[in-house]
Structure 1
Amino acid sequence: MHDIEPHFQWRDRYRAEDDSASPFYGRRYSEFSYSNKVYNYLLHPQWDEFGSETLYLKILFVDYEDRYAIIELIGEWNDALHNDSMHLKREVIDRLVGEGVNQFIMIMEGVLNFHADADDYYEEWYHEVTDSGGWVAMINVLDHVMDEMNSAGLDHYLHYGPILNHLTWRPQKARRVHEAIEGLLQTERKRVY
């Protein structure tokens, strides 16, 4: 896992460490010092820790005018042991919501396991963003992770599933990824109603 870097093609347009509204403002990174790890596996030093012992992230892009953020995750999402949803919500999401962001694209292909517990932080996040016309979309969720999320009833609060899986997002511009996800969610809403 030490050689898996967060997506870097948008760094010419956005860097969380240079964004004064970001929870990672002012952070400095090393290309040579590996300190973060998931269990016994070292992670590339470009990933950001936010209080979880097994889950790391990178804010890839934020557009405050259009009110969206794209966040890539890696590791194990473990609410049962580490309350990762609380750490994510309090340390990252709350800061972005406070800056007006109400649409979140969570890239989940690097989340290898998910262990559920209570859903209160997901419900809180859902109400905060939907009350202002926003949403939370999780793309490219692994099947076994999706099964666990479904078992926990998280489909009541988060958008994920076949319509948002197997998306080729890396070669696209951030704006295009946002537009595509927004379009897929609108299509899904029309299909449901």
Structure 2
Amino acid sequence: MQWFNEPAQWSQAGNQINVTTAPKTDFWRITHYGFIRDSGHFFFETTASDFIAEVKIRGQYQDLYDQTGLMIRADEKHWIKTGIEYVEGVQNLSAVVTHDYSDWSMTPLTDPPAFLQLRVERRKEAIHLAYWNNAVSGYTPFRLAYLAHPSELQVGIMCASPEGNGFEATFEDYRLTLI
């Protein structure tokens, strides 16, 4: 795996990666805010195959839009990120799908788990986003998105602090399974 925008502070031990995000980092393109940000931290590997990516995430979220999760990236104008985004004191299950312009969907987690387990599955141009739901002891899908089917995609973990001074993010049991 390699870094896009490597953070100054990070460590890896066994199945856990800890990151302290840099201030004013983000991934976003144009919509509503009128700016482009491509400064978030993204630790990725490259694949040309369909895949399932899974990870458990948690963060010491404190500032508006602090975020952790999974990311799939074709290039700077075509990518998807999903995970937790902290908005007005609430952790939200979030997804941003970007095709030149970013869109954003989120659902408040009124009782956030200690870790949120995410799953992203790619089948050609279809991207299935899901989270582990303890109530049903399985994954619950929350979004199906389109992402062009280039020869290779980057996939991995991401985190950012768009408004804040940084926070500690933890990723456990990241794995990429080719299908």
Normalised to the residue count of structure 1, the TM-score between the two structures is 0.31
Greater share of residues in strand? 2
Task: Name whichever structure is richer in helix by fraction.
Answer: 1
- Higher RCO by CA contacts (8 Å cutoff, separation 6 or greater): 2
Which of 1 and 2 has greater Rg? 1
